[in-house]
Amino acid sequence: MLISRIYFFLLASFLFVACKPSVEESAKPVFYPWEKYLTAQIDSLAKHPEAVHKTILLAGKKEEKRLKEMDWKQEWAMFLHADLNKPAAATSYDNLSEDGFVWYSLKANESLPVKKLYIQLDALDRPAKVEIEIEEKNFLFETHKKLHMNFADGRVQTYSIEGSQQMRWMSPTHYALMGVLLPK
């Protein structure tokens, strides 16, 4: 009797688990798979590193560097975080896309940080140019960022981040970062 109860319990548990949809089954992304595409670029650069000429402007001071090694995931973190395929964004954007470009604009009544994601596509439907606008505002600070990335043959060639941040009761800080990937 005890063995039959254990057997029944195990069988019922197995059937319950077997009937649940797999966690790995995922729905088709609602928006362009930007994070996935850029992560593939990062993985490619990890395998085949390229040098970068980087210019930073901060508080009126200019600094230029040529770097042979770069942590691209960290360098492009703002670009990665601008991916819209998140549950909170599912119904928050108007899709203004047409042939040749992808364009998502935040709806007027929404308050997510990414205000616009625009991707111009090449003939093979790969990004040729990306523009992202990000704004955040709260009681203590306000930030505005414009991110740009240009591609050739599906690979990143240049990128830039321009922005300003203003803490309450202080003057705004303006900054810009520009990067050019250098061929070997």
Which residues contact residue 66 at a Cβ distance below 8 angstroms, ignoring those fewer than 6 apart? 51, 52, 53, 54, 182
Give the per-residue SS3 of the chain.
CHHHHHHHHHHHHHHHHHHCCCCCCCCCCCCCCHHHHHHHHHHHHHHCCCEEEEEEEECCEEEEEEECCCCHHHHCHHHHHCCCCCHHHCCCEEECCECCEEEEEECCCCCCCEEEEEEEECCCCCEEEEEEEEEEECCCEEEEEEEEEEEECCEEEEEEEEEEEEECCCCCEEEEEEEEEECC
- Of the pLDDT bands very low, low, confident and very high (cuts 50, 70, 90), residue 70 is very high
pLDDT band for position 15 (cuts 50, 70, 90): very low
Average pLDDT, the chain: 86
The CA-CA-CA angle for residues 63, 154, 121, to 5°, reads: 105
- pLDDT score, position 29: 66
> Distance between CA atoms of 55 and 59, rounded to whole angstroms?
13
Specify the pLDDT at position 150: 98
Tell me the pLDDT tens digit for each residue of 129-182. Answer: 999 999 999 888 899 999 999 999 999 999 999 999 988 888 889 999 999 999
Lowest mean pLDDT among 19-23, 26-30, 130-134, 140-144: 19-23
pLDDT of residue 2 exceeding 50, the answer is no
* Among 23-32, 33-42, 82-91, the least confident range: 23-32
Give 25's pLDDT tier (boundaries 50, 70, 90).
very low
Place of tokens 């202080």: 170
12 touches 19 (CB < 8 A): no
For the cut 60, the answer to whether the pLDDT of residue 24 exceeds it is: no
